[in-house]
Amino acid sequence: MDKLLNFSAKQSLPNKKVLQEHYEANCIQYERVVNDLQQRIKLDLSKIDLVPTVKARVKSFDSYYKKVLSYLKQIKGQQKNIIIYDVLGLRIICPFLDDLKAVEKLIKEKYIVVEMEHKGTDYSFKEFGYEAIHILIEVPKDILSRFQLAQSLVCEIQLCTILQDAWGEVEHELVYKANFSPFDESLKRKLAALNATLTLSDTLFQEIRDYQRLLQAELKKRREAFIEQLHNTIDSTTFGLLKESAFKETAVKEINRNTKDVREVFEKNINDNIDNLLLRALEAHNSKQYRKAIAIYTSILDLKTDHYIKLIIHIHRGMAYFSESHYEEALADFSKSIKLHPENWRAFYYRGVTHQINQDYTEALNDLNQCLQLDPYQFDSLFNRSRVYFHLGDYPKAFADCEQALNIEPESFQAQKLKDLIKAYITL
């Protein structure tokens, strides 16, 4: 190991000038090494969809020498090797607490870990201090050889959240760097309160993120289930598996099913907030408990909410009605959403495909045209307009839309199948 990092404390006091000369002679190489390691770790993190801030530094000579003297004071003249591990340092700063676990796992898998410490976990609620995960790793041998370094090197990696990093920077200035230990109880309480507030904020940020992830997962499942149901229903007529009249008869029977007031099957918990109600509605929706989902959506609409929330809930409830084959109710919800926000392309799309299910192709075309005018790069909108044109007998336009849809999703089997069908009709 390099003499800068490892030397014997046989002498009572190391020669500062000699150490500084050696430090300055090697500092540039160390900066290159730590910068190379920084880029490698950033690349590793990007492969698991993490893009935290990664800071690199080489400990300044003054800080290094101060640490040497501190170690000498601790060993009190004993003959021991002094090893300064944190000459090379990286700090990985993540937005959320869960990200720290993912980064820690990656480092353990990709690098040789010499030592690990979770600093700050032993503080009582009355104490304050810098919390972070400190990991010592061996610098990979290929990086050392790239810079003609034969000796082994260790790099200290600190993992922290943005708020932990902010606290660490402030604490370093107010306490560590100033060599300050507050005696005043009032000042101690202020520092402890600040640290507690930041710790609580980290926890709350993580809880909000967990909720968002769960909500997005439920939204994705609901969207996919809707699209699958839509494709199965429309494909049955597009590819001639049902006669038009038979389809209409089936649809009428579905629409006229018993529509007992959905609020009778759900008792609202008045303590729930809108976010929790929406999540419960989506969970019911994705579990195909459509009546329960409709009841919860209705409960949300009964609350005093702004128009933006209402337009979203009307779309969700409309999709639940659609899944129950209550198409008139679905159309009413999608129309209310459009009235609340006339530039909402999703509402035009859902209303258009509902008209399509009802085989009202003229109205379906009007809505899908409006949808694509607002956002012309939607696969599902282009694909379904292609189907509408096909049923209207406008095969050139149907073919053009289908090609555009395939430009967006070339792997779509259904779109390719439709394109082949349209080709067959064009060549007749």
Average pLDDT, the chain: 81
pLDDT, tens only, 399-427: 999 999 999 999 999 899 999 999 998 88
Give pLDDT, residue 193: 78
Band of residue 242 on the pLDDT scale cut at 50, 70, 90? very low
C-alpha–C-alpha distance, residues 423 and 403, integer Å: 11
Give pLDDT, residue 240: 52
Distance between terminal CA atoms of the chain? 81
Between 125 and 77, name the one with better pLDDT: 77
Q: Quick check: helix, strand or coil at residue 337?
A: helix
Give pLDDT, residue 77: 59
What is the sign, positive or negative, of the torsion defined by CA atoms of 137, 143, 145, 148? negative
Give pLDDT, residue 33: 92
Q: Tell me the mean pLDDT in the region 84-101.
A: 88
What is the sign, positive or negative, of the torsion defined by CA atoms of 379, 231, 213, 307? positive
Q: Tell me the mean pLDDT in the region 87-96.
A: 92
**DSSP label at residue 359:** T
Contacts of 369 by beta carbon, 8 Å cutoff, 6+ apart = 385
243 has pLDDT over 50: no
Range with the poorest average pLDDT among 47-51, 176-180, 294-298, 367-371 = 176-180
332 has pLDDT over 60: yes
54 has pLDDT over 70: yes
Give pLDDT, residue 415: 92
142 has pLDDT over 80: yes
Distances 202 to 43, 122, 132, 207, 336 between C-alpha atoms, Å: 26, 18, 13, 9, 39
Give pLDDT, residue 128: 47
Tell me the two tokens of residue 191. 């520092």
Band of residue 32 on the pLDDT scale cut at 50, 70, 90? very high
Distances 324 to 65, 208, 221, 296 between C-alpha atoms, Å: 74, 32, 17, 15
Give pLDDT, residue 253: 39
C-alpha–C-alpha distance, residues 419 and 398, integer Å: 8
Between 220 and 229, name the one with better pLDDT: 220
Band of residue 70 on the pLDDT scale cut at 50, 70, 90? confident
Give pLDDT, residue 246: 35
148 has pLDDT over 50: yes
pLDDT, tens only, 109-129: 999 999 998 876 555 444 445
Give pLDDT, residue 69: 77
Contacts of 34 by beta carbon, 8 Å cutoff, 6+ apart = 56, 57, 58, 88, 89, 90, 155
Q: Which of 53-67, 70-84, 297-311, 378-392 has the highest mean pLDDT?
A: 378-392
Range with the poorest average pLDDT among 29-33, 95-99, 148-152, 263-267 = 263-267
Contacts of 48 by beta carbon, 8 Å cutoff, 6+ apart = 102, 106
Give pLDDT, residue 220: 81
Evaluate whether 260 touches 266 at the Cβ level (below 8 Å).
Answer: no
Between 55 and 74, name the one with better pLDDT: 55
Between 179 and 292, name the one with better pLDDT: 292
For the question of whether the overall pTM of this predicted structure is more than 0.85, the answer is: no
C-alpha–C-alpha distance, residues 355 and 369, integer Å: 13
Q: Mind listing the domains of the chain with CATH numbers?
A: 6-181 (3.30.460.10), 206-375 (1.25.40.10)
4 has pLDDT over 60: no
